[in-house]
């Protein structure tokens, strides 16, 4: 069957959807969380369209699955005020709670979250088209990340140095939260990526305003009560709405201390510049990437193909860590492409809940047209679509397009496609690939495929000052989550491993006292009477 004929079978009617995955009615998300209260929004709502298209008696359209509130700047500022109040040492308890107590709150949340697994996984499929296995993995991985964060924090706490005495000065050094954090995540990992900033921020004692991703927003609904019931008032506030109205208004107040954002450079820059004193804002950012694979002539092709197929096309290439351009030595380009296309044929396109399906509809509006534009541009500059049916699209479906030979004149050479378009660049000298990486604005990761120790070592040394991670005979990826996740140049700011994130959302400060009679009496008095929340004997590391 030709690919375009197969595409006709991608639009199920309601009755074709298995009962377990069917949505019964719309998910009406009217509630938002401010200062420990779930408030109900009666104003304008935003429609949530699933990328999954339904065939309703011959009429095929994206299914509307629910609505979310379009809050205004007023609600956003209310949320910010609640977070500011909860952070204030004089009024809020959260920043000065013991590590053990904060862990207890997060554990309570985790246990409530686990009970919502099926609901959240189902929404991950409906909202962003994530295949069932990947959606389950995202949920489970997030739970493990929270557990690991708790364990890491206990470890840090155990190893803490309580007092330092140097040169006649006693220092009570303490790691403290940064303040009020705004956490925003991307549509492709709306749970995992968001929680890898949200949880470390909370557990370190920051208070948070959380705005869920634009797509992948309804799946926070099942967790709203868990958030409300697990944390003290104002510690976590959850809002919805247009970025400019809500986030923009909060930024302009200058009251945000941390901006934790996983998304595009443009999104991050547009928001950050609204802060009146951006240098005061600690930014923890995961941004654009264009990770290349470099396949040398002696590469083990079986390994290279397997890793490049999953690296470039798992979740339709919609991962910041996806391989977004493949540099293949020209002596093996033909055989590489032949094998790549054979492997591609085995990937199935379909509904996210169908067994074996890995290619699914795309949630971003206008994405298929954008990808088609990239393909046409490459064709105009001399590339061919190497696979039958490649690039064929329909509303939210885009069949992967493998482009060859790609060169610097084409948009896809530098633009981050974030979708199922695979550009393959032939090279004769490895220096061409080295120059590509060095000239790139991005520096998240790259992959090298070769068995030649000398050649690999040379490349490692060429790239160690360019990217955050070099993968040998393996695709690019974030995990394991205990490993550093970051990037160079315009790809990231800060590092987000389990342990690094705890440090990213905190700062070490101290009270330093000269060892003289006055101070001995003074500190003794403060400690004895517990006058200070900060200066206590049971402080954090
Ligand atoms: O989109 C960026 C994700 O953090 C990638 O994670 P992953 O490499 O595990 O798919």
Which DSSP string do the residues of 299-311 spell out, in sequence order? --HHHHHHHHHHH
Query: Parallel, antiparallel, or unpaired: how do β-strands 445-449 and 469-472 relate?
Result: parallel
Measured between alpha carbons, how far is 241 from 263 in angstroms, rounded to an integer? Answer: 17
Distances (CA, A) of 464 to 333, 400, 457, 458, 467: 26, 32, 10, 10, 6
Q: How many CA atoms lie within 13 Å of 318's alpha carbon, on the beta-carbon side? A: 24
Q: Which atom of ligand 1 is nearest to the CA of 141?
A: 9
* For ligand 1, mutation pick of 291, 320, 363 (most atoms within 8 Å of CB): 320
Residues 6+ apart with CB under 8 A from 133: none
Residue 90 alpha carbon to ligand 1 centre in Å: 40
Residue ranges around ligand 1 (CB below 6 Å): 188-189, 193, 319-321, 477-479
Give just the sign of the alpha carbon dihedral 307, 442, 194, 369: negative
Nearest Cα to 221, choosing from 35, 102, 63, 65?
Answer: 65
Query: Parallel, antiparallel, or unpaired: how do β-strands 492-493 and 282-286 relate?
Result: antiparallel
Q: Which atom of ligand 1 is nearest to the CA of 188?
A: 1
Which residue shows structure tokens 């443009």? 266
pLDDT at 1: 42
* SS percent in the chain: helix, strand, coil, step 5: 40, 25, 35
N- to C-terminal Cα separation, the chain: 64
Residue 307 gets the label, from left (phi > 0), alpha (psi -120 to 50) or beta, of alpha
* For ligand 1, mutation pick of 185, 446, 478, 494 (most atoms within 8 Å of CB): 478
pLDDT at 509: 87
Residue 63 alpha carbon to ligand 1 centre in Å: 27
Q: Which atom of ligand 1 is nearest to the CA of 485?
A: 4
Domains in the chain: boundaries: 3-286, 291-485
Residue 514 alpha carbon to ligand 1 centre in Å: 49
pLDDT at 530: 85
Supply the pTM of this predicted model: 0.95
Q: Which atom of ligand 1 is nearest to the CA of 479?
A: 9
Q: Which atom of ligand 1 is nearest to the CA of 476?
A: 8
Distances (CA, A) of 425 to 189, 309, 337, 407, 431: 29, 15, 11, 6, 13
**Are the C-beta atoms of 529 and 505 separated by less than 8 Å?**
no
**Could you read off the pLDDT tens digit of each residue along the chain, which spans 541 residues?**
445 555 666 889 999 999 999 998 999 999 999 999 999 999 999 999 999 999 999 899 999 999 999 999 999 999 999 999 999 866 568 998 888 999 999 999 999 999 999 999 999 999 999 999 999 999 999 999 999 999 999 887 765 545 677 888 888 888 889 999 999 999 999 999 999 999 999 999 999 999 999 999 999 999 999 999 999 999 999 999 999 899 999 999 999 999 999 999 999 999 999 999 999 999 999 999 999 999 999 999 999 999 999 999 999 999 999 999 999 999 999 999 999 999 999 999 999 999 999 999 999 999 999 999 999 999 999 999 999 989 988 889 999 999 999 999 999 999 999 999 999 999 999 999 999 999 999 999 999 999 999 999 999 999 999 999 999 999 999 999 999 999 999 999 999 999 999 999 999 888 898 988 899 889 889 888 988 877 776 544 3
Q: Specify the 3-state DSSP secondary structure of 340.
A: helix
The three-state (H, E, C) secondary structure of 59-124, written as one string: EEEEEEEEEEECCCHHHHHHHHHHHHHHHCCCCCCHHHCCHHHHHHHHHHHHHHHHCCHHHHHHHH
Domains 3-286 and 291-485 share a fold: no
Q: Which atom of ligand 1 is nearest to the CA of 192?
A: 4
Q: Specify the 3-state DSSP secondary structure of 200.
A: helix
Give the residue, by CA position, lying nearest to ligand 1 atom 6.
478
**Are the C-beta atoms of 313 and 437 separated by less than 8 Å?**
no
DSSP code, position 516: S
Which residue shows structure tokens 């009429």? 59
Q: Specify the 3-state DSSP secondary structure of 298.
A: coil
Angle at 492 between CA 191 and CA 137, to 5 degrees: 25
* For ligand 1, mutation pick of 284, 286, 315, 321 (most atoms within 8 Å of CB): 321
pLDDT at 312: 98
Longest dimension (CA), the chain: 89
Measured between alpha carbons, how far is 159 from 520 in angstroms, rounded to an integer? Answer: 26
Q: What is the CATH number of domain 3-286?
A: 3.40.605.10
Q: Between 3.90.1150.10, 1.10.10.350, 3.40.309.10, 1.10.645.10, what CATH number should domain 291-485 receive?
A: 3.40.309.10
DSSP code, position 512: E
**Are the C-beta atoms of 228 and 199 separated by less than 8 Å?**
no
Find the helix or strand (DSSP H, E) in which 329 lies: strand 323-329
Sequential DSSP letters for 456-507: HHHHHHHHTTT-SEEEESS-----STTS----EETTEES--SHHHHHHHTEE
Measured between alpha carbons, how far is 445 from 475 in angstroms, rounded to an integer? Answer: 9
Find the helix or strand (DSSP H, E) in which 182 lies: strand 180-184
pLDDT at 502: 96
pLDDT at 453: 98
Measured between alpha carbons, how far is 185 from 267 in angstroms, rounded to an integer? Answer: 11
pLDDT at 8: 61
Give the residue, by CA position, lying nearest to ligand 1 atom 2.
320
* For ligand 1, mutation pick of 474, 479, 484, 497 (most atoms within 8 Å of CB): 479
């Amino acid at each position: 069957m030709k690919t375009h004929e197969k595409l006709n079978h991608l639009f199920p009617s309601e009755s074709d959807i298995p009962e377990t995955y069917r949505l019964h009615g719309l998910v009406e998300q009217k509630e938002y969380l401010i200062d420990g209260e779930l408030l109900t929004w009666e104003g304008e709502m935003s429609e949530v369209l699933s990328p999954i298209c339904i065939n309703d008696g011959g009429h095929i359209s994206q299914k509307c699955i629910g609505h979310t509130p379009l809050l205004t700047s007023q609600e956003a500022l209310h949320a910010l005020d609640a977070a500011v109040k909860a952070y204030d040492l004089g009024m809020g308890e959260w920043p000065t709670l013991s590590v053990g107590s904060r862990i207890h709150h997060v554990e309570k949340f985790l246990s409530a979250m686990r009970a919502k697994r099926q609901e959240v996984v189902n929404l991950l499929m409906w909202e962003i088209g994530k295949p069932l296995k990947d959606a389950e993995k995202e949920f489970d991985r997030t739970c493990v990340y929270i557990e690991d964060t708790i364990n890491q924090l206990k470890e840090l706490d155990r190893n803490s140095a309580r007092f330092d005495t140097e040169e006649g000065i006693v220092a009570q050094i303490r790691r403290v939260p940064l303040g009020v954090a705004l956490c925003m995540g991307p549509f492709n990992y709306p749970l995992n990526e968001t929680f890898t900033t949200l949880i470390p921020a909370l557990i370190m004692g920051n208070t948070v305003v959380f705005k869920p991703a634009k797509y992948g927003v309804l799946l926070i609904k099942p967790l709203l009560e868990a958030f409300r019931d697990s944390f003290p008032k104002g510690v976590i506030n959850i809002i919805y709405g247009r970025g400019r109205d809500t986030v923009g208004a909060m930024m302009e107040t200058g009251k945000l201390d941390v901006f934790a954002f996983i998304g595009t450079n443009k999104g991050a820059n547009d928001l950050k510049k609204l802060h009146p004193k951006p240098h005061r804002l600690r930014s923890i950012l995961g941004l654009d990437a264009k990770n290349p694979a470099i396949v040398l002539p002696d590469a083990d092709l079986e390994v290279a193909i397997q890793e490049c197929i999953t690296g470039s096309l798992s979740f339709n290439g919609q991962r910041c860590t996806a391989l977004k351009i493949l540099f293949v030595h020209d002596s093996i380009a033909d055989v590489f492409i032949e094998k790549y296309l054979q492997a591609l044929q085995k990937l199935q396109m379909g509904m996210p809940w169908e067994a074996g399906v890995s290619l699914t509809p795309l949630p971003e509006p206008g994405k298929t047209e954008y990808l088609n534009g990239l393909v046409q541009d490459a064709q105009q500059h001399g590339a061919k679509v190497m696979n039958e049916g490649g690039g064929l699209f329909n509303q939210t479906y885009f069949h992967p397009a493998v482009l060859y030979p790609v060169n610097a004149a084409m948009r896809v050479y530098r633009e981050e496609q974030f979708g199922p378009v695979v550009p393959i660049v032939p090279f004769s000298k490895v220096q061409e690939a080295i120059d590509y990486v060095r000239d790139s604005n991005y520096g998240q990761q790259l992959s090298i495929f070769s068995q030649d120790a000398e050649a690999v070592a040379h490349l490692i040394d060429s790239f160690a000052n360019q990217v955050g991670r070099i993968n040998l005979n393996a695709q690019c990826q974030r995990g394991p989550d205990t490993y550093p996740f970051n990037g160079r140049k315009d790809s990231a700011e800060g590092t987000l491993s389990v342990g690094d994130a705890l440090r990213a959302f905190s700062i070490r400060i101290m009270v330093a006292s000269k060892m003289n009679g006055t101070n001995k009496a003074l500190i003794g008095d403060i400690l004895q009477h517990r006058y200070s929340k900060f200066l206590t004997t049971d402080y954090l590391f």
